[in-house]
Amino acid sequence: MSSIQLVVFDIAGTTVRDNGSVAEAFIAAFRDFGFEMPPAQVKKVMGFRKMDAIALLLEKFAPTHKDDDVLIDRIHTRFIDKMISFYRSDEELAPFPHAEQVFSELKQQGIKIALNTGFTRSITDTILHRLRWDDRSGLIDRVICSDEVPHGRPHSDMIETLISDLGIASSASVLKVGDTEVDVEEGRNAACGTVVSVTTGAYSREQLEPYRPDFIIDDLRELLPIIEKA
């Protein structure tokens, strides 16, 4: 029997298809306030709580505005509005192949499933509703968002809250899955027993390797043998 009791999945780029729309909305929100952000640098902060990502980018590319909390909040609000509008109408919004199958197989093994994300609750609920993940009883045990804890990724707050809420005995029994550097850092900071990166989102295999996740996979189905051996 696997020692894994809980698998924590990221959303965009990990379980839900993202064709670059998040980064595009981020860049567009900055542009609305007169800032041009390099796409490569925006890509590097995907996975962070978006309020924190905005502050990081301003600090690097517009340092005179890095402590402007009003501006940060306005850019963040514009980003949220853009993402909600996008996800409400995006015809390509869909789970990655095999995501729901993997959820079902893990549930059959008695393993709990959680989603965590750098998105706010308002964006996340829009995605969950479109995918009908909010009304399919038993598919997902818990969803937590970056605006529901004191600190977003790479801090461990979201995973620690999930462990507590779901009655998991130890972080060593948790497997974390995500598509970015900050997902790996979050898993390490939470002392998860296993940290897995996927190549379906913001980072390629070559970009993920320097962060030394325990495994790098190209398809969520590859999780199943990893969990069986854990």
DSSP E strands in 72-173: the ranges are 112-117, 142-145
Rounded to a whole number, what is the largest CA-CA distance in the chain?
A: 55
| pLDDT score for 187 | 98
State which amino acid sits at residue 39.
Answer: P
Q: Which CATH fold would you assign to the domain 21-89?
A: DNA polymerase; domain 1 (1.10.150)
| pLDDT score for 135 | 76
* Entry pTM: 0.93
| pLDDT score for 136 | 72
| CATH homologous superfamily for the domain 6-17+95-229 | HAD superfamily/HAD-like (3.40.50.1000)
| pLDDT score for 1 | 67
What gap in Å lies between CA 141 and CA 185, rounded to an integer?
23
**Domain edges within the chain:** 6-17+95-229, 21-89
Q: Which residues of the chain have pLDDT under 70?
A: 1, 137
